Amino acid sequence: MFGRPVSLFSIFGFEIKVDMSWLILAALITWSLASGLFPEYYKDLPQSAYWWMGIAGATGLFLSIIFHELTHSLVARHYGIHMKEITLFIFGGVAHMEEDPPSPKAEFMIAVAGPLSSCLLAISSFLLYQLGNNMGWPVTINGVLNYLSWLNMILAVFNMIPAFPLDGGRILRSILWRWKKDIRWSTNIASQIGSGFGLVLIVLGIFYIVRGSFVGGLWWFLIGMFVRAAAQSSYRQILARSLFHTKKVKDLMVVDPVTVPRSISLEEFIRDYVYKYHFQAYPVISFGRLTGCIFLKQITSIPREEWAHQTVGSIALPCNQEITIGPEEDANKALEVMNKTGNSRLLVVNGDELKGIIALKDMLALLSLKMELNDLGKSK
């Protein structure tokens, strides 16, 4: 949401990342626990105790979401789905699946693992809370354990709502998929329910805002917006995968892309290329061969008076895997690279030979035309 996620650590081969928006959630959760929930239920404690409880509660939420998404990832790996990272953001977390589940059974097992893991955490926290009461543990510890037991039970119940992309919606999709043998149709139905559920949350949020509960209403409104957008984008994603799974990168690339000579000055580059084409990155060519890439962000660190004296070749960087792809790669692979790196254009290369450029806008334009003509069932 706020740029490229920051990597925190790895566990069981999965990289755990956090979007900067998570800091907003962490701060809000800590504040609401320390100033609202814990003082309401546990009277006459020092203010510092409430803040430590708030920090512990927010940390428990952080770990609970990681555990929830980690179980999804481990089950997905069991069914042969390649997953490398889990990202936490302001509305929770997401385990990145690079492909669709291979069967309705796999979809069901992957989806149900999340709510079951939250139930397990809820029961474990509750048992520890009971043990703490019997053993006379400090109220600060027992209060946090009680909060985590309720929190995880609420997460389990909420995720079981049959609205895609929530886990319950994925379970519904698996049932419909097994019935109709059609993942696209099943995703469409589950996504429509998810979109409708998101709309209900939006209306509920507006209702609470009008009634005077601005913060609570705003959260329902934002969560509804997120669920609705995620449901709609999930269906578009399945349509895109359906369209592009039979196509190669070479089928969709532009074969005569804009290239930049190594020998021209940065001043010429800015004047004749950047201001004309407005791209963020350009392939650099010498004697018909790809020798590197130049990025617009590189220019910002170079003083304006040096533009006339430095050449493109002097600052060009190697074209790494984040901006290149082979012509024989599956078109869905290009989408995955774009989604992961945030680059909307990839250079299509074979060794040091530039074959063309594949752009996200061109792929989306083709998808839009296919949807308009109801031609997604055809491979050409």
Q: What is the pLDDT of residues 109-164, one digit of tens each?
A: 999 999 999 999 999 999 999 999 999 899 999 999 999 999 999 999 999 999 88
Report the pLDDT value the prediction gives residue 27, as an integer from 0 to 100. 85
Report the pLDDT value the prediction gives residue 90, as an integer from 0 to 100. 58
Instruction: Label residue 26 by pLDDT band (50, 70, 90).
Output: confident
**Strand arrangement, sheet containing 345-350:** 324-325, 345-350, 353-359
Instruction: Label residue 188 by pLDDT band (50, 70, 90).
Output: confident
**DSSP code per residue over 95-164:** EEESS--SSHHHHHHHHHHHHHHHHHHHHHHHHHHHHHHHHT--HHHHHHHHHHHHHHHHHHHHHTSS-T
Question: Higher confidence at residue 15 or residue 38?
Answer: 38
**Distances from the Cα of 204 to the Cαs of 19, 171, 209, 228, 329, in angstroms?**
27, 25, 9, 14, 46
Report the pLDDT value the prediction gives residue 207, as an integer from 0 to 100. 92
Q: Per mean pLDDT, which range of 211-220, 258-267, 300-309, 312-321 is the poorest?
A: 211-220
Report the pLDDT value the prediction gives residue 1, as an integer from 0 to 100. 46
Please tell me the total number of residues recorded for the chain in this structure: 380
Task: Report the predicted TM-score, pTM, of the whole model to 2 decimal places.
Answer: 0.73
**Cβ atoms of 114 and 88 closer than 8 Å:** no
Structure token digits, residue 59 = 């940390």
Residue recorded with tokens 């709309």 = 199
Average pLDDT over residues 154-176: 91
Question: Higher confidence at residue 328 or residue 378?
Answer: 328
Strands (DSSP E) found in the chain: 6-11, 14-18, 83-89, 92-97, 260-261, 281-286, 289-295, 324-325, 345-350, 353-359
Is the per-residue pLDDT at 379 higher than 60? no
Q: Is 198 helix (H, G, I), strand (E, B) or coil?
A: helix
Report the pLDDT value the prediction gives residue 11, as an integer from 0 to 100. 81
Q: Provide CB contacts within 8 A for 16, sequence distance 6+.
A: 7, 8, 9, 10, 66, 85, 86, 88
Q: Provide CB contacts within 8 A for 336, sequence distance 6+.
A: 98
Cis omega before residue 5 (within 30°)? Answer: no
**Distances from the Cα of 259 to the Cαs of 9, 298, 307, 340, in angstroms?**
39, 17, 19, 25
Report the pLDDT value the prediction gives residue 3, as an integer from 0 to 100. 52
- Rounded CA-CA distance 185/352 in Å is 43
Report the pLDDT value the prediction gives residue 147, as an integer from 0 to 100. 94
Q: Is 289 helix (H, G, I), strand (E, B) or coil?
A: strand
Q: Is 293 helix (H, G, I), strand (E, B) or coil?
A: strand
> Which residues carry out catalysis?
69
Q: What are the structural domains, with CATH classification, of the chain? A: 6-244 (no CATH), 249-372 (3.10.580.10)
Is the per-residue pLDDT at 175 higher than 90? yes
Nearest of 67, 99, 71 to residue 83 by alpha carbon: 99
**Average pLDDT of the chain?**
86
Q: Cα dihedral sign for 17, 23, 24, 25?
A: positive
Report the pLDDT value the prediction gives residue 183, as an integer from 0 to 100. 84
Report the pLDDT value the prediction gives residue 94, as an integer from 0 to 100. 66
Report the pLDDT value the prediction gives residue 376, as an integer from 0 to 100. 60
Residue 377 DSSP code: T
Q: Is 45 helix (H, G, I), strand (E, B) or coil?
A: coil
Instruction: Label residue 87 by pLDDT band (50, 70, 90).
Output: confident
Buried/exposed 219-234: b ≥16 CB within 10 Å, e otherwise: bbbebbbbbbebbbeb
Q: Per mean pLDDT, which range of 86-100, 112-126, 156-170, 351-365 is the poorest?
A: 86-100
Average pLDDT over residues 6-11: 78
Buried/exposed 325-361: b ≥16 CB within 10 Å, e otherwise: bebebbbbbbbbbbeeeebbbbbbbeeeebbbbbbee
Average pLDDT over residues 214-229: 83
